Structure 1
Amino acid sequence: MSSEQIKSYFNSLEAELEHCIKIAREAKMRSADPTPHPEILLAKDLAERVESLVGIEGVAQRIRELESQMPREEAALHIGLDFAEGRIGKKSKLDSVEGAIRTAVAMLTEGIVAAPIEGIARVGLGKNDDGTDYLKIY
């Protein structure tokens, strides 16, 4: 098969998928379904899946950059540094830690399991006897 045939094949798959999603949306609107839209998130790659799953804007682009330079496991660690240094998820310290953990877990599980969202109930900080903080993951 030529590259044009392969491209055409994937374009037809994408068009058919969009058609099926449109039908699913219409069916959900007409029924008593609790959600008015299909629950499945569409994504073209892991980076997009992770960003949709964790809901943190800018993560997809950074994942692509990191994965072009290093293995996924290493990239997951570097994402944590990006959160810690404020390049991603510019929020409170605790929110940044939680975002880093959820994003790294999503990357390592390829964004296809519920672990990053449902497997981590919440993240908190505790105090050691010497007054330093420690991380609590529930």
Structure 2
Amino acid sequence: MKEKVEICYSVAEACRKKGYDVKDSVEIPLAADMAERVEELLSIKGIAQDIRDLSKEMTREEVSLEMSRRVVKRYIDEGRDAALEKAVRTGLAILTEGILVAPLEGITGLKILKNRDGSEYVSVAYAGPIRGAGGTAQALSVLIADIVRRDLGIGRYVPFDDEVERYIEEIQSYNRVKHLQYLPTPEEIKTVIRNCPVCIDGDGSEQEEVSGHRNMERISTNRIRGGMCLVLCEGLIQKSKKILKHTEKLGIQEWNFLTEIGKKEVNEEDSKSNKFLQDMVAGRPVFSHPGRPGGFRLRYGRSRVSGLAAASI
């Protein structure tokens, strides 16, 4: 099978060389496993075998953290910016198994910038495609950036007061435009922004602009930054316990502020989520309330009675 695939690829390459297509080469490279997919996706040669070796002893999340540190050491000669970018994208590609575009298009750039006191910090700009990576990978990408900036000797992000208020306004505005899985409280947002050692930034992805906290020194747009909102709310805050698990293993005390996240008082009557009822369009029928005996349940997906290309409801 492998030989026949290689023959097909050689024919396709020969056809592309004729110049009738947009590109003169086949865009999709061959890859045998996750390690090879990551290597080909990022065009960073020589990391596939390291990923395979580490995967025998570590979980995928641990492999992503360790490989990020190895990549930054390997490419430090190319400059800190290049080493930082390659390391964070490698970690995210491993978390997403080299399948998604999130490592390429979900992060639009990583920069080393300066605080008011002259110290340096790392800023990661996220975009909409980061959504596909899932909350855990989004959150871990911020942790990876923090671990890498430590290895490079770069300082932590120190936010201005008006920047903190901008985050609060922006997240609430984004939730009105595009629904968030989890909308943190203003106190939770303040806690994370004031304590997170990495700046979570993004490109202006929505047409709507913020009404206050405009034309800011270190925020390049007045438009709502969708990628930032996703990573902060559905990643870092919603998956705070998973981040803490890794920081405790690594002995990083700087992330302990996450222990204060998500400690809301839960009313026993409201413990069964009624959130979907709040967002219901007027006039739609309610089949079932959450947890109600005899309620309507919908299951969908593949089952034993459907084929590989079919879905059952």
Q: Would you say 1:66 and 2:54 are equivalent positions?
A: yes
- Give, as a single letter, the amino acid of the residue that structure 2 aligns with 1:42: L
Between structure 1 and structure 2, the one with the greater Rg is 2
- Give, as a single letter, the amino acid of the residue that structure 1 aligns with 2:67: I
Residue 75 of structure 2: which of 71, 86, 89 is its match?
89
List gaps (5 residues or longer) in structure 2: 126-313
State the distance in 2 between where 1:83 and 1:27 align.
36
Residue 20 of structure 2: which of 25, 28, 32 is its match?
32
TM-score (norm 1): 0.80
Contact 1:56–1:89 (CA under 8 A) maintained in structure 2? no
TM-score (norm 2): 0.37
**Shift in Å, 1:31:** 4.9
- 1:33-52 to 2 correspondences below 5 Å: 33-52=21-40
Alpha-carbon RMSD across the aligned residues, in angstroms, is: 1.7
**Equivalent residue number for residue 4 of structure 1:** none
Q: Would you say 1:54 and 2:35 are equivalent positions?
A: no
Q: What is the identity percentage for the equivalent residue pairs of Structure 1 and Structure 2?
A: 38
**Equivalent residue number for residue 106 of structure 2:** 119
How many positions carry a matched residue from both structures? 124
State the distance in 1 between where 2:17 and 2:46 align.
31
State the distance in 2 between where 1:123 and 1:102 align.
10
Secondary structure, in 3 states, of the residue corresponding to 2:108?
Answer: coil
Q: Which has the higher contact order (CA 8 A, sep 6+)?
A: 1
State the distance in 1 between where 2:83 and 2:16 align.
36
Q: Would you say 1:22 and 2:45 are equivalent positions?
A: no
Secondary structure, in 3 states, of the residue corresponding to 2:111?
Answer: strand
